Structure 1
Amino acid sequence: MRPLAGAGLAALLAVSLASCASSDRDTAATTSSGGAASEASSAPSSSSGATGSESGGATGGSDDQLIFGAAGAPSMFDPLYATDGETFRVARQLNEGLVTFTPGTADVAPSLASSWESSEDGLTWTFDLQDGVTFHDGTPLDGAAVCFNLDRMYSQTGAGATQAQYWSDTMGGFKDSGTPSVYASCAAPDADTAVITLTRYTSKFPAILGLPSFSIQSPTAIEQYDGNNVVAEGDSFVYPAYALEHPTGTGPFTFGGYDQANNTVTLLRNDNYWGEKAKVGTLIFKIIPEETARKQELQAGTIDGYDLPNPADWDGLTAEGFNVAVRPAFNVLYVGINQKNPDLQDLKVRQAIAYAMNRQQFVDSQLPTGAEVAQEFYPNTVDGWTDQVTQYGYDPEKAKALLAEAGKSDLTVNFWWPTEVSRPYMPNPRDVFTAFKADLEAVGITVNETSQPWNGGYLDGVDAQQADLFLLGWTGDYNTPDNFIGTFFSDPTSRFGTEYASWGTTLSDALGAADTIPDEAERTTAYENLNKQLMGEYLPAVPISHSPPAIVVAGNVQGLVPSPLTDEKFVGVSKS
């Protein structure tokens, strides 16, 4: 997904999309005000913008008002068309899906569906809906509303289909796209039931229904405010009034407005919420692009918390009385290897690169307590992880020998790293690059450096296969192997250039086949074998580390549960 711009129908203002590439969807936090400032200043306008008393003069002092420092502006407010973490952070408070994840875990739990069951072949899923749920506009939640949403997602065309990336990544094609889809149909036999039929079994169902992009939104509001009318204008998109001004879900907060002058998104407690009511009356996301500025505002008491504090600040913030909540490390950092470069098509060369990098030293010197070297491309809490993979300990002499055997002792690589960004798995990209550049040069590899802004050339260049080596990673959306290695390596023409390898299509086909295996034990074995092949026979990238990111709140804030998925909900958060 490349960074794009958009404009609102109401104000025709540009929207800078903080979109993440398809293997990097998590909260983007910029380290330079340049890129993120443009996100803040060009975010969607709202005719129902928050008043000065709600946002402009907001401080962290009111017990009934919580202000959270956001790293960037949301792209808009309809999660169907979003891929960026700041949009999802807002969407999670406004909307709900049929399922959710148990707080603090990646385990699927009931949400708008109180229970569900599947047919033996995993193709038919029957969801029993919660009683007494209404959307923010008073429309009742029923089976027909659920099917309206699923069919809406499936029926996207043109610019809407382009932007509904989570659907295409998980479900496949759209109704009229000609590309096969996992989704077949939805039926509502009665008001309390929705039955979803799939074309094939997939291991990621029903977990994907807990993602913000699969939120169940008000059919009334979507139709009233022309919710499907996304229009492409060159490299930009025009979003409808629904996405910019009238998002309408079932969640514990309602949309209060976006105030561009004060860079705040305001949400209000939904007093008609079907579950436990929010503990604060007003939730404000204040857009503060620089991490240092967010820390200073927390220290000054003008905000109540922010995401991704620098690990170097954890001890200091804790000593000052702030609550630094460390999430489980449900992520991976890797150095991608693009085999468009013929020199990198030799497995011995890729193995030499792996042996050359002192990953343990990097983890010990740059990452927080609890981080560890990655043996493969996802954490050991995900099915299919196995310790029976090829290990690449730090061995510069072996790296030199492999390069010599391959006739590449004079190897030169173009190594890219991103600026204006910090990721949960990569707090400081410059330092990551510097460490591994030195390791590669120590075994005789010449490194040509390229640095580009994350949303200003880096992702575009990596997607266009301009980089030989590059830094990227992933925070899991849900707990399946397919969400990690299926996302990374299923496309043989991806940024890894595996179309140049004889095994590129074979790997893609094997990943797709593993996801369709209904038997859990058989599926786990298939993924174990794939992990062995990825690390031993293929090595399209070098997994580096799993790192626990943190979220910090003021000492008087209670109830925020850190999530390995970084999908924290604010409904249970209070202040004393």
Structure 2
Amino acid sequence: MRTKWHWMLLLLVAGVLALAAGCGGDDDDEGTAGATSAAETEGGGGASGGTLVFAGASDPVSLDPALVSDGESIRPITQIFETLVALEPGGTDLVAGLAKSWEVAEDAKAITFTLQDGVTFHDGTDFNAEAVCFNFDRWYNFTGAAQSASASYYWQATFGGYAKNSTENEGLGESLYASCEATDATTAVINLTKPSASVLGALALQAFAIASPKALEEFKADEGTLDEDTGFQPTGTFGNEQPIGTGPFKLESWQVGDRLTLVRNEEYWGEKAKLDKLIIRPISDNAARLQALQTGEIQGYDLVEPQDIPTIEGDSELQVLERPAFNVAYVTINHKVKPFDKLEVRQAVAYGLDRQAVVDNFYGGRGEVAKEFMPPSLPGYADDVTEYPYDPEKAKELLQKAGVTLPLEVDFWWPSDVSRP
């Protein structure tokens, strides 16, 4: 369900991951096989081998990185595919990915990437500058269902239009993307129609991961239909059977509704994965995920319910890992709906919300009151924004000034198809 009206309740929510604290072993039985412990995950050490079973909230929509934006799809996609640039683990600084270095032109209208040597796709074909340009030209030339915002959302957000915009996308205008040149096997130049300071960082998004040109064509990646609820539905087999990238894992099988199985890429160009196998199971119910962790059916899951954290922390066999607060939970206002068309009413709502109480009581204290939509860790964060501290008396004064009497009936709309705190 789409949000109909919102107000600005901003909360930075910490990412919480529940893991079995000690799942070591040498067996290959699913659920117990040499899974990395939480301590090993944090430190990067630990033994190699075995299988890790992780629970997601649902099945992926597709394994084609260019045509999805949901977290459940991106989870396995991140293991199968790689981007030209990446983010430093745990941070927001750009580091080398499939490109070992890059240079932005003085006029900021071109980026030259020097690519890693000796990289191959899972199908044995070479990763090179021509493959990079093939992928960029593919995205630029999307047509039909692939041009839907629910499919190629990140292309639209980063580059705008396509080579030929559909009638629905005429408002996107000219694309920021102009062309891609493979000047030699390890050098690709991305040309832009105008200067941009944001494109380089955006290329770390999985939507811009590089796929095998051979596989994209052979398995008809761009053929599909648009489902209003789930987005782009491929009719070719690339997105659900043959997702071919360069990553440390490759797809072994995907039984929709049961499990998605990844196996280690033994030909990986970088440091090889420690696990032999990674299984991702869709378990939509939060309580069922916790129970599966407690019984050993899985070794980890994320999107932990705040009320479940004390239970997990009280079990010596389990461990909670926290990532820095990054997601912003918010409620916004539709200012076209009366009486929220009045500034005083919107300000009253802001003053009337005890956001710290929400952090403490709903999120179990794992989070912080946000000042704006950007987390402090991201470039562009501004500390000097207007703040609205909790002040119910001020809220009442503003409502009175606006001529609004309480109680006031308000319609709330919220997403009901997500599984997260």
TM-score range, shorter chain: 0.7 to 0.9
Identical-residue share of aligned pairs (%): 45
Q: Is the 8 A contact 2:128 2:185 kept in 1?
A: yes
Q: Specify the code of the residue in structure 1 equivalent to 2:139.
A: M
1:309 aligns with 2:301: no
Q: Specify the code of the residue in structure 1 equivalent to 2:294.
A: Q
* Unaligned runs of at least 5 residues, structure 1: 3-25, 30-53, 428-576
Q: TM-score, normalised by structure 2?
A: 0.83
Structure-2 separation of matches of 1:84 and 1:238: 14
Structure-2 separation of matches of 1:234 and 1:122: 37
Q: Aligned with 1:342: secondary structure?
A: coil
**Residue number in structure 1 paired with 2:42:** none
Structure-2 separation of matches of 1:107 and 1:160: 30
Q: Specify the code of the residue in structure 2 equivalent to 1:250.
A: T
1:158 aligns with 2:144: yes
1:358 aligns with 2:354: yes
1:213 corresponds, among 207, 212, 225, to: 207
TM-fit CA distance, 1:62: 4.5
2:113 corresponds, among 108, 127, 142, to: 127
Structure-1 separation of matches of 2:120 and 2:415: 44
Task: Map Cα deviations across residues 208-229 of structure 1 (whole Å, 9 max, x no partner).
Answer: 1111111100000111111111
**Residue number in structure 1 paired with 2:30:** 58
Q: Is the 8 A contact 1:61 1:302 kept in 2?
A: no
TM-fit CA distance, 1:234: 8.1
Which residues of 2 match residues 334-373 of structure 1 at below 5 A? 334-373=330-369
Structure-2 separation of matches of 1:223 and 1:350: 52
Structure-1 separation of matches of 2:153 and 2:92: 22
Structure-2 separation of matches of 1:419 and 1:190: 49
Q: Specify the code of the residue in structure 1 equivalent to 2:80.
A: L
Q: Is the 8 A contact 2:129 2:188 kept in 1?
A: yes
Which residues of 2 match residues 70-219 of structure 1 at below 5 A? 70-162=56-148, 163-177=151-165, 179-219=173-213
Structure-1 separation of matches of 2:287 and 2:392: 37
Structure-2 separation of matches of 1:145 and 1:85: 26
2:293 corresponds, among 298, 313, 316, to: 298
Task: Map Cα deviations across residues 396-418 of structure 1 (whole Å, 9 max, x no partner).
Answer: 12111111111122543212344
The structure showing larger relative contact order (alpha-carbon pairs under 8 Å, at least 6 residues apart) is 2
* Unaligned runs of at least 5 residues, structure 2: 3-12, 17-27, 36-49
2:270 corresponds, among 269, 275, 278, to: 275
Structure-2 separation of matches of 1:407 and 1:194: 62
Task: Map Cα deviations across residues 68-110 of structure 1 (whole Å, 9 max, x no partner).
Answer: 1111000111111111111000100000010111111122111
2:410 corresponds, among 410, 413, 425, to: 413
Which residues of 2 match residues 363-442 of structure 1 at below 5 A? 363-410=359-406, 411-419=408-416, 421-423=418-420, 427=421
CA distance 1:372–1:62, change in 2 (3 Å) = closer
Task: Map Cα deviations across residues 29-73 of structure 1 (whole Å, 9 max, x no partner).
Answer: 9xxxxxxxxxxxxxxxxxxxxxxxx9xx83233451111111100
CA distance 1:346–1:370, change in 2 (3 Å) = same
Structure-1 separation of matches of 2:381 and 2:153: 27
Q: Specify the code of the residue in structure 1 equivalent to 2:72.
A: E
Q: TM-score, normalised by structure 1?
A: 0.62
Q: Aligned with 1:294: secondary structure?
A: helix
Task: Map Cα deviations across residues 257-284 of structure 1 (whole Å, 9 max, x no partner).
Answer: 1124x61000111100001111111111
Structure-1 separation of matches of 2:314 and 2:400: 52
Q: Is the 8 A contact 2:360 2:366 kept in 1?
A: no
Structure-2 separation of matches of 1:215 and 1:106: 17
Q: Aligned with 1:331: secondary structure?
A: strand
CA distance 1:417–1:230, change in 2 (3 Å) = closer
Q: Aligned with 2:385: secondary structure?
A: coil
Structure-1 separation of matches of 2:414 and 2:146: 31
Q: Is the 8 A contact 2:254 2:260 kept in 1?
A: yes
Which residues of 2 match residues 209-288 of structure 1 at below 5 A? 209-232=203-226, 238-239=233-234, 240-260=236-256, 263-288=258-283
Q: Is the 8 A contact 2:84 2:97 kept in 1?
A: yes
Task: Map Cα deviations across residues 370-389 of structure 1 (whole Å, 9 max, x no partner).
Answer: 52112222223334434433
TM-fit CA distance, 1:392: 1.1
Task: Map Cα deviations across residues 336-365 of structure 1 (whole Å, 9 max, x no partner).
Answer: 100221321111110011111111222222
Task: Map Cα deviations across residues 422-454 of structure 1 (whole Å, 9 max, x no partner).
Answer: 43xxx1xxxxxxxxxxxxxxxxxxxxxxxxxxx
Q: Is the 8 A contact 2:135 2:211 kept in 1?
A: yes
Which residues of 2 match residues 502-517 of structure 1 at below 5 A? none
CA distance 1:155–1:418, change in 2 (3 Å) = closer
Structure-1 separation of matches of 2:134 and 2:309: 45
Q: Is the 8 A contact 1:124 1:196 kept in 2?
A: yes
Structure-2 separation of matches of 1:212 and 1:149: 13
Q: Specify the code of the residue in structure 1 equivalent to 2:115.
A: L
Q: Specify the code of the residue in structure 1 equivalent to 2:201.
A: A
CA distance 1:418–1:205, change in 2 (3 Å) = closer
TM-fit CA distance, 1:304: 1.2
Q: Is the 8 A contact 1:271 1:277 kept in 2?
A: yes
